[in-house]
Chains A and B, each alone.
Chain A
């Protein structure tokens, strides 16, 4: 049974490729710099955030093992992938409705390829991180290889949540607005441009039980030359896989009704 699913997935690899290509192409169509924006934009926001938080608000990078700019860049890149990835996956069934109404193809391909194309853009923009790290004098170490773990996990987390949201979005458009607010809440509990050292008590647990924060933390650890928090990463890993399985579950349960509602 699972073998048949894998075979089907492989037989639709061409469509997945085309959908990913379409996502990237259309995102940068009609802009002169095109895909270069995936490099420029994070750098610009990083600069703005660094200036605002160090000069205007007087936060310092004291006590951090990595430069504040790198700290912010990692948080921002990871979170913006999660945010745009879940949003495009959420809308993927509706935005591909003309195809879905006409021709059969496995429906999970649409949220999957949406998450995947934002992931590809995210991976490209990681070039920034290396450039900035080199410029800021981050010392290379073997610990950097750990970064692959949060990088892979955040894709599954995004895809899983994207599938859940896509399923709900077909029936209730409201979820788009609700998710906007919720992702803002998640952003502030992911400690993107501040450290959690200033907090204590229950607030600290809000951060620690936020899987996005845990993944960002793991990525930062890899770049600051220290081992990851094992339980934190285990928690984030289990959470991501659980969400992906649950996403598949409710998606498969409702996917035959999609066609009647789009």
Chain B
């Protein structure tokens, strides 16, 4: 295998879930004096360990609140983990919530330079690629209009075009394949696929297991901040689907439906039991038959013996 691109070892992230945000001194002192400053500690991630090799395309699965976005933000450097260590070898391009880092008063063109340098590109490089970015975004003359007048789709298109102008070594996708209109969706999907062809390492978050099976070769599964599965994509996806189905049966349905399911289950069980009983009965019957046959055989033997005896008797009579 290739070199390790990403090494996540024992990473944990703790948040203080204070019920209300304290951002002024008066409240802080009052809370301090009342000793209400104890925060509800909440571990969004706990003891996460995995490695990603070069060229791996890793799907990240998990329910809402499982810690997927937190994990991606830690990997892209926005969050610093409370404990553990992350080693990244290579240039990361994060496609998280596209276009959220734009300056609203700037025009699209100005934002190319601002957002591009935020992502770590040089200004010369951006100057060189400017036309290419504008062309891919399909914004045309709107590029000279302030971003505040853009639709959210236009903003996302520009964000995607800027972020993907280089071939990154590690690409982080957070459900961005649903960006823009249908035409741009296709275009961006093609772009991502062409990036993947060039041995790029991908981290991909999605709820859609079909999409993950389609794109990834490996997957990890998070549940309540813990890593509960890590391995080949189909195995993890199957496990995830099974897990969801089970949970669905038990918890998320209304009572009547749950009752119906239980009834159905009981019916099934009963049916199974009946079938088993039937099988047993059949077996028993067969057994009895066999025994019966055995007995008849015995009888016939007895008969011949009897006949022989009779003969003997008759002989003795003679």
Contacts and interface: CB of A to CB of B under 8 A. Distances in A.
B25 A174 contact: yes
Interface stretch (B93-101, B237-245, B268-276, B285-293): B93-101
B114 A22 contact: yes
Contact of B77 (A17, A25, A104, A171): A104
Contacts of A29: 105
Interface stretch (B50-58, B116-124, B197-205): B116-124
Interface string B14-55: 011000010111101000000000000000000000000000
A19 B15 CA distance: 30
A14 interface: yes
Contact of A105 (B21, B80, B110, B118): B118
Contact of B78 (A15, A104, A261): A104
18 contacts: A14-B117, A15-B117, A15-B120, A18-B114, A22-B110, A26-B105, A26-B106, A99-B118, A102-B78, A102-B94, A102-B100, A102-B101, A103-B94, A103-B119, A104-B76, A172-B28, A174-B26, A260-B16
State which size class the interface on B falls in: 20 to 34
Given A18-B114, A103-B118, A172-B23, 12 more contacts: A11-B120, A12-B120, A14-B117, A17-B117, A17-B123, A25-B106, A99-B118, A102-B100, A102-B101, A171-B23, A172-B25, A260-B15
Contacts of A99: 101, 118
B88 to A, nearest CB: 10
Interface string A157-173: 00000000000000111
Contacts of A48: none
B79 interface: yes
B30 to A, nearest CB: 13
Contacts of A25: 106, 110
B160 interface: no
B116 to A, nearest CB: 8
B103 interface: yes
Given A18-B123, A102-B96, A172 B24 contact: yes
B101 A98 contact: yes
Contacts of B78: 100-104, 259
A98 to B, nearest CB: 5
Contacts of A26: 103, 105-106
Nearest to B14: A260
Kindly list the 8 A-B residue pairs having the minimum CB-CB distance in the complex, ordered from nearest: A104-B77, A15-B117, A256-B80, A99-B101, A14-B117, A18-B117, A102-B101, A174-B24
Given A22-B114, A172-B24, A261-B23, A14 B121 contact: yes
Contacts of B121: 14
Task: Among A11, A29, A99, A173, find the residue whose CB has the most chain B CB atoms closer than 10 A.
Answer: A99
Given A101-B78, A256-B80, A173 B23 contact: yes
A101 B80 CA distance: 12
A26 to B, nearest CB: 6
B18 to A, nearest CB: 10
B121 to A, nearest CB: 7
Contacts of B94: 102-103
B117 A102 contact: no
**In terms of DSSP, what is the predominant structure of the interface of chain A?**
helix
Contact of B101 (A19, A22, A103, A261): A103
Nearest to A170: B23
A259 B79 contact: yes
A3 B121 CA distance: 21
Contacts of A100: 78
A178 to B, nearest CB: 9
A174 B15 CA distance: 24
Nearest to B146: A29
Interface in A85-118: 98-105
Given A14-B121, A15-B118, A173 B24 contact: yes
A180 to B, nearest CB: 15
Contact of B122 (A14, A98, A173): A14
A261 B15 CA distance: 11
A11 B122 CA distance: 9
A260 B18 CA distance: 11
A103 B103 contact: no
Q: Which of A19, A103, A172 has the most CB of B within 10 A?
A: A103
Residue in A26, A98, A100 whose Cβ sees the most chain B Cβ within 10 Å: A98
Residue from the set B21, B103, B119 with the largest chain A CB neighbour count within 10 Å: B103
A22 B96 CA distance: 23
B289 to A, nearest CB: 77
Interface in A239-262: 256, 259-261
Most buried by A among B15, B16, B118, B121: B118
Which of A11, A15, A19, A171: most chain B CB closer than 10 A? A15
Interface string B75-87: 0111110000000
